[in-house]
Amino acid sequence: MAQELSQDAFDRLTAELEDLRTRGRIEMADRIERAREHGDLKENAEYHAAKEEKAKMEARIAQLFGILEDAVIVEIGGASDEVRIGTIVTLRYDGDDEDEVEKFLVGSIEEASAGVTVISPSSALGEALMGAKPGDSVSYQAPNGELTVIVVELH
């Protein structure tokens, strides 16, 4: 399934992938080689830690490759009067006080920015929000039952 990304996120992930494939792999090979020099590999904690870290790095490389291989670049942001991918939306849960609001970014986790929780557009809440405008109430099925949110503001 293609993942929708902004051009910024695509460029950032491409740079991360290239860095891990080059500098990351070289540094990891050096670290493993240094750890090997410490003797018996069966009881060499530094060696095992380096191998585990290398496996995590390789998993991230595979993940990035998979994301970028099928990525679709979408226009994020800009003025819009309705929720779409890339919109930061301020919501209030039905029944909460007027000042009890939360901000969410509707999009990919790879678009995450500090202080804003990401909602996937394919999640129950994300699907319910798509196309909603400020003032709209939308309901969605949560694990604990149906919830309703009011779209307060779009950013």
pLDDT in tens, 94-139: 999 989 999 998 888 887 766 788 998 889 999 999 999 999 999 9
Residue ranges of the domains in the chain? 4-73, 88-154
Residue 143 has a CB neighbour count (10 Å cut-off) of 6
Please report the pLDDT score of residue 88 as a whole number. 87
Residue type, 133: K
b or e along 70-84 (b: 16 or more beta carbons within 10 Å of the residue's beta carbon)? ebeebebeeeeeebb
**Identical fold, 4-73 and 88-154:** no
Q: Which residues contact 51 (CB under 8 A, 6 or more apart)?
A: 32
CATH class held by domain 4-73: mainly alpha
Choose between 5 and 125: higher pLDDT: 125
CA angle 105, 82, 132 (to 5 degrees): 85
pLDDT in tens, 28-65: 999 999 988 887 777 788 888 999 999 999 999 999 99
Please report the pLDDT score of residue 65 as a whole number. 95
Helix (H, G, I), strand (E, B) or coil at 18: helix
Classified by CATH at the fold level, domain 88-154 comes out as: Chitinase A; domain 3 (3.10.50)
pLDDT in tens, 70-79: 988 877 655 6
Please report the pLDDT score of residue 36 as a whole number. 86
